[in-house]
A and B are shown apart, each in its own frame.
Chain A
């Protein structure tokens, strides 16, 4: 028989008893006694693996069985009874560790024993003053200690909730027995035998018990609170690594977590999937103990699961997919990354698109929402993500067309031309206006230029101009509304032409801050000769093109 080690375990289990038996053997072989509590609802036949282990290892004992229910006193009752028996049967223990059947040791027993040898008087139990707790699920933290909880949360949720509501309404507050100051922490601890004994033999134990029987989830507060009264040195951290999801359920470890667990140097982890054969095989094998003491480093694992919790809670911005479909306004960002929308620039400048893509770190598309066909950069027929240039596919859901494009090209900023002649959909315009990722720059009235130059012909010139002006006016109203969160710049054509270089530089500085110091020269303006006369003709035909601003009607060329 192995020499008795100064560390003993209380193990609570209710399922996967073969795994529990494996872990119990591991500790027994290191000389650590284990007092095993099996929930009374487990049929006797299921205890077979445990009995087999106990037959081989006299340090393994079965504690009196209780029926345990989540969040209730029964768990404390079972723990107390088992701990008392463990201390009575193995009086020389120095530390006692509470574990579950699905806790897995991650380091050789010798390392844990040596580590505790160096800290003979220290209790390891997470114990946080209740006012400072930030993690409790369901909004109950202080109230766990001041209300009554006669109904089981798992089985009688409705009664549980109503009874809490009722007590809140009546302003009920139980008195907390002095000198108890409520503390909370995960339920798995490693206490010195001295502290544990002091808790179990405290003359006021009955009084505390009467109180804690009515506290909600006492397994996260009973020992955590009372240890504060008796500990000589208390380190408020558990030796068992547990991470909880947003519903308060522990994250489960699988075979693929092997490296993560190995590198954490934690002593114990829960909870482990019973069928994670690789984890059990690896961590229960004879790993060589390292000579130098190594401190547990759970941070990597914390980060790993914190990221997962964040993905569940807030998700990836700008992604619309089968399991993330934020209702309008539910998500902070509508798209995945910043992008630029230009209205009127290609009409004013010669070769604007080429100039822009040469100058700024920007993928410059043509009119993505051209009525006939999507004008991707380089006139491509298909774009990243296999987005098609079919206008029908795009117009089937223009919002998703744009959010798909921005999602698929994240990492490369996109820009495109957009104007009143485009296939504008009210939904799309709303999306653009309220998207903080959109940088929208508009030269109002520039849509008149192609018509004036004859680049685009129509039978009903006047009607077409009126239609464009109306559409642009509506878009501008939207951009100027309170809800707009896009970065918007609007100039009338006349305003813009007063200092095109400066205006262009301001836009570029936002896209590529490096360009702010030495703004590049703007591309050449397209010829505007005769445009004033064209406007005068329109005005006299009864269609004043007001959105251009006070563009000089005379033949004089505007100042460049």
Chain B
């Protein structure tokens, strides 16, 4: 059903740069949709190249800032373009499900946006392949990494992001301990909300705060599919990235570099397009807040150091990968 839908939506994709013949068995593949993210791209690609991603399979959704042109020139990017509706492709999920179905089977696949940066235990000393190899040995097919919203100290647009820069030089702060979890019995995944977005934008309507649970790294087969963004997978067993008996499974964090100066324009545009989840409701909330260029920082914000800090804070876990 979902796969048929993905196939139908795949007709909307135009092949722009096809380097999929360079994909080798065992290669870790990254899948991404984007729109007008040109300044973010160089750092994004380099970050994941360094971790050992073999190829990036990307869908450009009508960028007008030269993103597609730049990506098409990258030696390890295969690029598709489309001007179809992001919303109607269920926020890009259909496009990527199709590409994963076509190219991802048998590989560990990583689905991330260009502002999401995977941090996992020992990521400073062990490449991604060490993690996926260990997951294979442990019989795990998926790896959870919750979204951690990062923000600068001071007004969001006070510091300008330069192309190629590490975004976490600016957005260095996060909320360490205000997350709420509940279990979604339908898909068995955990529903995580909270963090700075709940604190700053949804304090009156916490139920509408965006979901932060993500399972971006999956050993893909043709019977797998994402249901909504990377929050939920089918078959449901893939969502069991947590222990119910008190133990801890290994998990990571997706550092989210959303709150940089570019977001002010982005929010304005997305409020116009209404192409985002919940009719851009989230962007409405930011917009109202962002018009004043808010300072998301608070005296109890935590400054980011490294993965070990996140693991001590209990935001992620080594599990028994030591």
Contact = CB atoms under 8 A, between A and B. Distances in A.
Interface in A254-312: 254-256, 273, 275, 304-305, 307-309, 311-312
Interface stretch (B17-25, B42-50, B198-206): B198-206
B57 to A, nearest CB: 24
Nearest to B317: A323
Interface stretch (A65-73, A327-335, A454-462): A327-335
Nearest to B320: A312
B317 A324 contact: yes
Interface in B114-137: 122, 125-127, 129-130, 133-134, 137
Nearest to A327: B244
Interface stretch (B5-13, B245-253, B280-288): B245-253
Contacts of A166: none
Main secondary structure of the interface of B (DSSP, over half): loop
Residues of A in contact with B, size category? 35 or more
B176 A323 contact: no
A390 B204 contact: yes
B248 A251 contact: no
Contacts of B298: 381-382, 386
A326 B249 contact: no
A4 interface: no
Indicate the member of B126, B245, B247 with the most A CB atoms within 10 Å. Answer: B247
Residues of B in contact with A, size category? 35 or more
Contacts of A388: 178, 198-199, 203
B241 interface: yes
B190 A322 contact: yes
A385 B250 contact: no
Interface string B243-280: 11111111100000000000000000000000000000
A407 B177 contact: yes
Indicate the member of B193, B251, B320 with the most A CB atoms within 10 Å. Answer: B320
Contacts of B134: 252
Given A313-B247, A392-B204, A307 B322 contact: yes
Given A275-B127, A407-B314, A384 B300 contact: yes
A320 B181 contact: yes
B144 interface: yes
A256 B126 CA distance: 8
Nearest to A301: B322
Contact of A323 (B126, B193, B243): B243
B144 A386 contact: no
Given A325-B242, A382-B298, A408 B207 contact: no
B217 interface: no
Contacts of B250: 323
Nearest to A395: B206
B223 interface: no
Nearest to A409: B177
B70 interface: no
A321 interface: yes
A331 B246 contact: yes
Interface string A370-391: 0000000000011111111010
Contacts of A390: 199, 203-204, 206
Contact of B122 (A245, A256, A309, A393): A256
A311 B321 CA distance: 10
A325 B176 contact: no
B254 to A, nearest CB: 11
Indicate the member of A251, A311, A313, A400 with the most B CB atoms within 10 Å. Answer: A311
B185 interface: no
Contacts of A314: 246-247
Contacts of B246: 314-315, 324, 326, 330-332
Given A311-B318, A311-B320, A386-B196, A322 B146 contact: yes
B245 A327 contact: yes
A397 interface: yes
B78 to A, nearest CB: 25
A404 interface: yes
A323 B241 contact: yes
B230 to A, nearest CB: 13
24 contacts: A252-B137, A275-B129, A275-B130, A308-B320, A312-B248, A312-B320, A313-B320, A314-B246, A314-B247, A315-B246, A319-B248, A321-B179, A322-B146, A323-B241, A324-B248, A326-B244, A331-B246, A386-B177, A388-B178, A388-B203, A390-B203, A392-B206, A400-B181, A404-B179
Given A312-B249, A321-B315, A386-B178, 13 more contacts: A247-B138, A252-B133, A255-B126, A256-B122, A305-B322, A308-B320, A325-B243, A327-B245, A382-B299, A385-B300, A392-B205, A393-B178, A393-B203
Interface of A: 245-247, 249, 251-252, 254-256, 273, 275, 304-305, 307-309, 311-316, 319-327, 330-332, 381-388, 390, 392-393, 396-397, 400-401, 404-405, 407-408
Interface of B: 122, 125-127, 129-130, 133-134, 137-139, 144-146, 175-183, 190, 192-193, 196, 198-199, 202-207, 213, 241-251, 298-302, 314-322
